[in-house]
Amino acid sequence: MTSERNNFTGNDLAPSRRAVVKYGAAAAISAATIPASRLIAAATVSGVVYENRSGASRRQVSDPGVAEVLVSNGRDVVKTDADGRYTLPIDDESIIFVIKPAGYAVPVDEEMLPRFYYVHQPVGSPQSLNLRYRGIEPTGLLPDSVDFALTKTNEPQKFDVIIFADPQPESALEVGFIRDDVVNSLIGSSAAFGMTIGDIMYDDLSLCPRLNRIIGQIGLPWYNIGGNHDLNYEAPSAKYSRETFKRTYGPSYYAFEYGGALFLMLDNVNCYRTTTM
């Protein structure tokens, strides 16, 4: 399988079609792992994936590293060593993220959005873009160690998932419809997690914070993938069209495991348009 290493493009995780067809999704991710000998780059990022036994916001001495966990820069994927350490090439517009293994949970914020990534964009989104909706703030110098916390959890092989497809509210009124007609009936659900699979919004990205707060009331970790209505249309090309999405939700391509299943979250928007707003 080493000959079937995925071809990655840009800053996005994109397993090759051949690898997915031949080996399946899980094998495609595994085929992306690269040996340490390939980690010859102008700059690298290192860190530890650890089990958070202490409950602290930062790794403590009592928090052991977790081996054999996949970590990616959006192009390459490596496995942590026996001590939970990893090293990856990095450039000045990268998102480093852990691929959550089965039997572990990643931290979530107050809106139940999973925080499994670190954005490295020292100067932030280019000011020259004049984005209508806020992009990535300058992140400054890369930390000496970019660590990811995991918490052991019981994940049954049989589980339910809540999926929203194209909710795309166009106004604050329509966000209220989602709250009243959908979310209120889901609060307290026993599902394992939820996901919105594209068109979280209908172009107006300023509505994201309120919708995130509302969906967070369901009480489940909530994963998101962007659609064509979640783009920054002021960007002259696709390169910077996900700046608001990345600031809010993290990488636009990623993966995670749950209960023995692998979820590949792929941004399949391959068209781009510019509009005058």
pLDDT tens digits for range 42-72: 499 999 999 999 999 999 999 999 999 999 9
Q: Does a structural domain hold residue 216? A: yes
Q: Does a structural domain hold residue 277? A: no
Q: Does a structural domain hold residue 276? A: no
pLDDT band for position 272 (cuts 50, 70, 90): low
Q: How many independent structural domains does the chain possess? A: 1
Q: Does a structural domain hold residue 22? A: yes
Give burial (CB, 10 Å; 0-12/13-18/19+) of 218: buried
pLDDT at 217 over 80: yes
Domain hosting 194: range is 2-265
Q: Does a structural domain hold residue 81? A: yes
Q: Does a structural domain hold residue 142? A: yes
Q: What is the pTM for the complete model shown?
A: 0.83
Q: Does a structural domain hold residue 66? A: yes
Q: What is the CATH number of the domain that holds 212?
A: 2.60.40.10
Q: Does a structural domain hold residue 275? A: no
Average pLDDT along the chain: 87
pLDDT tens digits for range 66-121: 999 999 999 999 999 999 999 999 998 999 999 999 999 999 999 999 999 999 99
User: CA-CA distances (angstroms) from residue 86 to 39, 66, 172, 264?
Assistant: 11, 11, 43, 21
Q: Which of 212, 220, 214 is CA-nearest to residue 193? A: 220
